[in-house]
């Protein structure tokens, strides 16, 4: 196993050695524990989806004093031109280890993995009120989009209308530590929403669909809410060209 090593002595904290390592399935229970304590989200360690994600090699753990002090999970998508993107999806640091630069170490390791994967862009969707993660993104050289967005998610598998019109949105299958579903990007319409809903109906293992819309685009937000999408919160896109 290849690891990078860093010596943390930040914000007046006690020095310690922290190893950033590629996560394996042996780390799944520790990752689930950190996710619950630091983020309040559930990761099911025995899920085949979780084990498959760990096998992909894009999840990293921070190991300190023989325990998992933090983790970051990433995955790849492609943009509208077919270029590879590296998605920084979920990052958590155990409360006892926060404030020591571990989050930045994990992002930097993700940046290196993004370059190794030949991705052209790394990006992260960060809540506007998540100031620690906002600071980490800025410190690691990512650039924030000027306009904030809303994240909207639907778990509805209700009836979808047939539509013969051309769909200009892209429907992207995603698998993460916390869910499997579809991501909608581009020009959203009723036909695009119905197409994504049909895919959900056809694949019971995928539980939800989501999209990010600029706060200024009230018409699209209203369309999504009329289709049982719930507003999760206000977010910023942070990106890095590689």
Q: Give the pLDDT confidence of 169-218 residue by residue, as tens digits.
A: 999 999 999 999 999 999 999 999 999 999 998 888 898 999 999 999 99
- Residue 230's Cβ-count burial label (10 Å; 0-12, 13-18, 19+) is middle
pLDDT at 159 over 70: no
- Residue 226's Cβ-count burial label (10 Å; 0-12, 13-18, 19+) is exposed
All residues at 6 or more sequence positions from 101 whose CB lies less than 8 Å from its CB, including other chains: 6, 8, 10, 11
CA distance 155 to 226: 13
Helices (H), the chain: 28-34, 48-56, 102-116, 131-139, 190-202, 218-226
- Mean residue pLDDT of the chain comes to 91
pLDDT, position 15: 54
Domain boundaries, the chain: 3-140, 149-241
pLDDT, position 228: 94
Question: b or e along 103-116 (b: 16 or more beta carbons within 10 Å of the residue's beta carbon)?
Answer: bbbbbbbbbebbee
pLDDT at 48 over 50: yes
The CATH number corresponding to 3-140 among 3.40.50.2300, 3.40.50.9100, 3.60.70.12, 3.40.630.30 equals: 3.40.630.30
Identify the three-state secondary structure at position 110: helix
pTM over 0.85: yes
Q: Note the Cα 19 to chain centre separation in Å.
A: 22
Residues above pLDDT 70, as percent of the chain? 90
């Amino acid at each position: 196993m290849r690891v990078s090593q860093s010596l943390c002595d930040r914000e007046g904290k006690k020095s310690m050695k922290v190893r950033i390592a590629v996560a394996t399935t042996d780390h799944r229970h520790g990752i689930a524990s950190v996710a619950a304590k630091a983020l309040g989200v559930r990761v099911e360690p025995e899920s085949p989806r979780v084990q498959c994600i760990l096998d992909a090699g894009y999840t990293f753990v921070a190991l300190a004093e023989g325990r998992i002090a933090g983790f970051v999970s990433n995955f790849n998508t492609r943009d509208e031109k077919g270029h590879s993107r590296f998605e920084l999806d979920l990052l958590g640091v155990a409360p006892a280890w926060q404030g020591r630069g571990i989050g930045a170490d994990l992002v930097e390791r993700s940046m290196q993995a993004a370059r190794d994967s030949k991705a052209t862009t790394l990006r992260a969707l960060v809540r506007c009120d998540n100031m620690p993660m906002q600071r980490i993104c800025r410190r690691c050289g990512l650039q924030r989009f000027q306009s904030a967005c809303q994240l909207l998610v639907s778990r509805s598998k209700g009836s979808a209308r047939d539509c013969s019109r051309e769909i200009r949105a892209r429907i992207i299958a995603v698998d993460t530590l916390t869910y499997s579903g579809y991501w909608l990007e581009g020009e959203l319409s009723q036909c695009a929403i119905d197409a994504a809903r049909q895919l959900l109906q056809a694949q019971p293992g995928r539980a939800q669909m989501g999209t990010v819309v600029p706060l200024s685009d009230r018409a699209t937000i209203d369309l999504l809410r009329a289709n049982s999408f719930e507003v999760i919160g206000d977010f910023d896109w942070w990106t890095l060209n590689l």
